[in-house]
Amino acid sequence: MRLLPHTATWRRSRSRVLATLTAALALTAALLAGTAHSAEAATLLSQGKTATASSAENASFAASAAVDGNTGTRWSSAFSDPQWLQVDLGASASVSQVVLQWEAAYATAFQIQTSANGTSWTTIYSTTTGTGGTQTLNVTGTGRYVRMYGTARATPYGYSLWEFQVYGTTGGTGASCSTTDAALNHPATASSLENASFPASAAVDGNTATRWSSGFSDPQWLQVDLGSSQTICEVTLAWEAAYATAFQIQVSPDGTNWTTVYSTTTGTGGTQTVSVSGTGRYVRMDGTARATAYGYSVWEFGVYTTGAGGGPTPTPTPTPTSTSTGSGAPPASFWGNTSAIPAATHVLELSIVNQTNGQYPDSQVYWSFNGQEQSIAQQPYVDMPANSAGRMYFYLGSPTSPYYDFIEFTVGTSSINVDTTRVDRFGLKLALLLHGHDGSNQQVGENYATFQESRTATFQRFQNAVPTQFKELATDNAPYGIPSPGNDPAFQAGGAYANYFTSYAASVGDTSDSTAQIFGCGGTLSANPPLCAGLNRHVAQLPAAQQSNPANFYQAAPANYYAQFWHQNAINGLQYGFPYDDDAGQSSDISITNPQYMVVAVGW
């Protein structure tokens, strides 16, 4: 919803030694197998692609775990025959090899099958004497979908794969990889900056003496908009000393839904040249583990395509629709046991989970809504009825604690519109998972890294990240909250920074509104969302088409650096930092028809 300006499990028990040994052998065999693949010029096509399965033992063993490049995660099926695991390669491919890295629960009888449509299948390999371990199968077949179809198990348990790897070539691989850097001088954005001296744009400027450097936490990302969809064949990263040991290269058609085309947990730093196969307009490095105590730092981020180079300079207008985990999203376990959430008798069931990292027990995490007030130890679920312009408050310690925050929503008879907000202040770390009966998920709120760090660290990072005028916000109401600048006397009439926006606003024709009104979208701006957003983001002076490009936001002062910080530390970069932050689709507002449940994570 657009905000109006505010006033003030059980797991079978068996030896894990065998599984660990199996995984180690699998990894060794996979590395040896990779040497053979390169001789055939085949590409690993399955990694990071969409995987589905006939069943999963439980949510901890999802189909996606078999194509994530991580030999410490796995898919495991229900304990019955038959079962299958399939991967969508995204386009038709000539399949030349399939590698199965089995856990101890393997198949004695199975087929490898391909399909053009995911419905009609052709068997390209079959056995009734499967051996388990790592099986490398040389095959010949064509299809967009590839699956393992298991018909007989070796154990009483299900079928379990550490990794399911499909090698081959796609129709576009015959073209040579261009030597032109498609990312050069294209709009780049990042999850965070160490400070303004190390912007994302410095990683795509062709200058090896300038660099992007992130905040000192995991995860972090750097992405570039190529301007149009491209077939990506190679990515180069020239790392500064602060490099990633674990990262993924991902592509996206829209900057929201991402596909991993490369993944490693053994990054070496220096200059890394990565051969990939994928298609997208947006390309990003998604770092999940740092080699040093500092952030991620890249001198140059190069992207090479099978065409002649990058497309035209883009003017994207992203929208906050996401069914993927997205940037900064937490692992599934963060949301608690969602399978245990009761069915709603009204519109949807709301579950509140404690993510205070042990600072508060469930008996001291309170919620308040519609005249009810309970701790989550007493009542962790709320059967949400239809209501208009509702708020639910959350408190830590006691129901009257100064540690509090809220979410906003409107619930229809079969729909919900909801958001987290930093328009007035930051009080508690909050994140939402909204799940529909159609299986879709949307997530907004503070990102996982922010939840994992201490409250003191978050306040200190805010103070380090913002310019001088905004630093006092971190101490005005510490340790209880960080007020928005429009609620700080320093930016109000008579305050030290009362004229912070005055000259800039006048330069674009607004001589009526005060600095506080600009931060709060008040005065004449209450009827002019694009101008209020343009002033807060310092893009009001640009052509209208460029004012909706996030790569242009907050690049110069004066700007709402308070809002920028909360965007940099939000899932997918989406947050309400000021009332009209939904202009150009940048807010944390999400909605769904026919919702099933919503989870609210309350942090410290």
Query: For 316-329, how does the pLDDT look when each residue is reduced to its tens digit (9 = 90+)?
Result: 333 333 323 346 88
Sequence ranges of the domains in the chain: 16-172, 188-305
188-305 CATH: 2.60.120.260
Long-range contacts of 333-338 (CB under 8 A, 24+ apart): 333/60, 334/431, 334/448, 334/451, 334/601, 335/433, 335/599, 335/601, 336/599, 337/9, 338/59, 338/433, 338/435, 338/597, 338/599
Give yes or no for residue 313 having a pLDDT over 90: no
What's at 524, amino acid-wise? T
Give the confidence band of 2 by pLDDT, cuts at 50, 70, 90.
very low
CATH of the domain spanning 16-172, picked from 3.40.50.1950, 3.30.70.370, 3.50.50.60, 2.60.120.260? 2.60.120.260
Is 136 a residue whose pLDDT tops 60? yes
User: CA nearest 165: which of 105, 89, 104?
Assistant: 89
| Distance separating alpha carbons of residues 67 and 462, to the nearest angstrom | 37
Tens digits of residue pLDDT in 326-369:
468 899 999 999 999 999 999 999 999 999 999 999 999 999 99
Are 16-172 and 188-305 equal in CATH topology? yes
Q: Indicate the pTM of the whole model.
A: 0.52
Q: pLDDT-derived band of residue 119, with 50, 70 and 90 as boundaries? A: confident
pLDDT, tens only, 39-57: 334 688 898 888 899 999 9
Smallest Cα–Cα separation from 160: which of 34, 50, 22, 331? 22
d(CA 334, CA 342): 18
